[in-house]
A and B are shown apart, each in its own frame.
Chain A
Amino acid sequence: MYLNVVHFWDSLISSRGMFFEAAQLTLALTAVSIFIAIFIGLMFAFMKISDIKVLEWIANIYIYVVRGTPLIVQIFVFYYGLTEIWMISGFWSVALGLAFHNGAYIAEIFRGSIQSIGKGQTEAGRSLGMSQALTMRRIILPQAFRRALPPLGNQFIIGLKDSSLAAFIGVSEIFAVATTQGANTFDYMTWLLVSAVWYLILVFLLTLVVGAVEKKLAASD
């Protein structure tokens, strides 16, 4: 046991450069996909709460499809589908696949948080002569966003971990590097645990960032 711990520690330390690079790829993949997913999410949240039935319908179908199919299938569909019509790297097809996937969950988070803001807030804005759009932008969305942050943070963490599926498309992010190392050394367990440590570090950092934003926005409580 003692020897294994030392071996694990040595592996972790000696491979840090390689994994540091892989972690950057994981982070980039996560950041890009979450960034796009937030826009997709906002758009579909608005479509879902709009009075226009067709938009509501489209949003419902989108969310239903994303929820009802495995992420790995979605990613491969994006990979083969996109690379067929347009020269796109593995990185970008996974990023877009993840964005497509997370967008649906983020849409539901935004929809829920927007609808959780009491009707009185809208009425107060409108009674002051503010337009519907202005009331949404200045009164509802800032409050809704604050309320959405904890579940959003959760979704970001899920997105970060799901980015490991990029390994199956040949993107050398953390999990891909770990499996390659495992195959080379016939020591899968050590390298899987090393990758786990790296994911834990990234999730920890992400939690810190979300916590800091939450704290900043909570100034009014």
Chain B
Amino acid sequence: MSDYMIEANQLNKYFGDLHVLKDIDFQVKESEVVVLIGASGSGKSTMLRCLNFLEMKNGGELYIQGKEINPKKDNLNEVRQRVGMVFQHFNLFPHKTVLGNVMEAPLQVKKLSKAQAGEEGKQLLEKVGLGDKADVFPSRLSGGQKQRVAIARALAMKPEIMLFDEPTSALDPELVGEVLQTMKTLAQEGMTMVVVTHEMGFAREVADRVVYMHDGKIVESGTPQEIFENPKEERTQAFLSSIL
């Protein structure tokens, strides 16, 4: 039994011969916001995708809310309902309206009534500031609006944990703020979050902990202050000076 929302022990992941995650030990506490940083190809996305089993680990243990998950035995669809994910490219369903996107999983997976799913969906859209866009198709939205719909869609399943993989990297600079603000609100409400991002301002302001990855390993982990002001490892220093 572990008290962590997420606990990974000696996590390993290979793509063929490519060793992408190397003996990763990683924990996230309830309501903690962890920001993952690292160079391109260091394994951040793979790590995140292992946490909701979009990728299958090749070794090690993974606990979600204290229970070890065995992909062969456990119902991963049930696990994924508790671990929401937001993608860099939104991945909204283009054939469904904004509200349709948000209602889809509650209707089909949780079997909510249309009335209830609609009610909850509208509330979530209000929350991300898109109450007036319910009946619009995603192709009519700006990138920032799309990403906020994607966040509402993930929240509609009432997840305990939210994973964000570079949620603002595909956005025009002027649209980044509205998405980060939505995420900040979520963090303040106590959502447990793991966020891959290059937005160091967000990491400083919102993260409880920053984790630096390099070449499939966690090199250093600490509070934003520790990592940004006083990085212990040379690699971390080099990475930070390369991006700041």
> B87–A120 contact, CB under 8 A?
yes
Residue B192 is within 8 A (CB to CB) of chain A in the complex: no
Residue B77 is within 8 A (CB to CB) of chain A in the complex: yes
Contacts of B138 in A (CB 8 A): 220
Known A130-B105, A221-B139: A146·B80 in contact at CB below 8 Å: no
- Bound-state CA distance A110–B52 (Å) is 30
Residue A127 is within 8 A (CB to CB) of chain B in the complex: yes
- Bound-state CA distance A127–B93 (Å) is 13
Taken residue by residue from 42 to 74, chain B's Cβ proximity to chain A (1 for < 8 Å, 0 otherwise) reads as: 000000000010100000000000000000000
> A124–B92 contact, CB under 8 A?
yes
| The one of A124, A130, A134 that contacts B87, using a Cβ cutoff of 8 Å | A124
Contacts of A128 in B (CB 8 A): 80-81, 84, 104-105, 109, 153-154, 157
| Residue in chain B with minimal CB distance to A132 | B77
Q: Quick one: which of A129, A219, A221 has the most chain B CB within 10 A? A: A129
Known A146-B95, A220-B94: A127·B137 in contact at CB below 8 Å: no
Interface size band for B: 20 to 34
Residue A138 is within 8 A (CB to CB) of chain B in the complex: yes
Residue B108 is within 8 A (CB to CB) of chain A in the complex: yes
SS class, residues of chain A in contact with chain B: helix
Give 30 CB contacts A-B under 8 Å.
A118-B91, A120-B87, A120-B89, A121-B93, A123-B54, A123-B87, A124-B87, A124-B150, A125-B105, A126-B54, A127-B83, A127-B154, A128-B80, A128-B84, A128-B105, A128-B153, A128-B154, A129-B80, A129-B81, A129-B105, A129-B109, A130-B77, A131-B77, A138-B104, A138-B108, A142-B95, A143-B94, A146-B95, A220-B94, A220-B137
Contacts of A118 in B (CB 8 A): 91
Residue B78 is within 8 A (CB to CB) of chain A in the complex: yes
Q: Quick one: which of B85, B95, B109, B154 has the most chain A CB within 10 A? A: B95
- Going nearest first, the 10 A-B pairs with the smallest beta carbon separation are A129-B81, A124-B91, A128-B105, A120-B91, A127-B85, A220-B137, A129-B80, A129-B109, A129-B77, A142-B95
| Residue in chain B with minimal CB distance to A221 | B139
The distance from the CB of B70 to the nearest CB of chain A, in whole angstroms, is 18
The distance from the CB of A32 to the nearest CB of chain B, in whole angstroms, is 29
Contacts of B91 in A (CB 8 A): 118, 120-121, 123-124
Residue A139 is within 8 A (CB to CB) of chain B in the complex: yes
| Residue in chain B with minimal CB distance to A220 | B137
The distance from the CB of A117 to the nearest CB of chain B, in whole angstroms, is 10
- Bound-state CA distance A183–B125 (Å) is 71
> B52–A127 contact, CB under 8 A?
yes
| Residue in chain B with minimal CB distance to A117 | B94
Contacts of B54 in A (CB 8 A): 123, 126-127
Contacts of A125 in B (CB 8 A): 105
Contacts of A146 in B (CB 8 A): 95
- Bound-state CA distance A219–B109 (Å) is 26
Q: Quick one: which of B83, B91, B96, B157 has the most chain A CB within 10 A? A: B91
Contacts of B77 in A (CB 8 A): 126, 129-131
Contacts of A219 in B (CB 8 A): 137
Contacts of B85 in A (CB 8 A): 123, 127
Contacts of A131 in B (CB 8 A): 77
The distance from the CB of B67 to the nearest CB of chain A, in whole angstroms, is 16
Known A127-B85, A128-B80, A221-B139: A143·B95 in contact at CB below 8 Å: yes
The distance from the CB of A18 to the nearest CB of chain B, in whole angstroms, is 45
| The one of B80, B93, B108, B154 that contacts A126, using a Cβ cutoff of 8 Å | B80
Contacts of A143 in B (CB 8 A): 93-95
Chain B, range 151-195, C-beta contacts under 8 Å to A: 153-154, 157
| Residue in chain B with minimal CB distance to A146 | B95
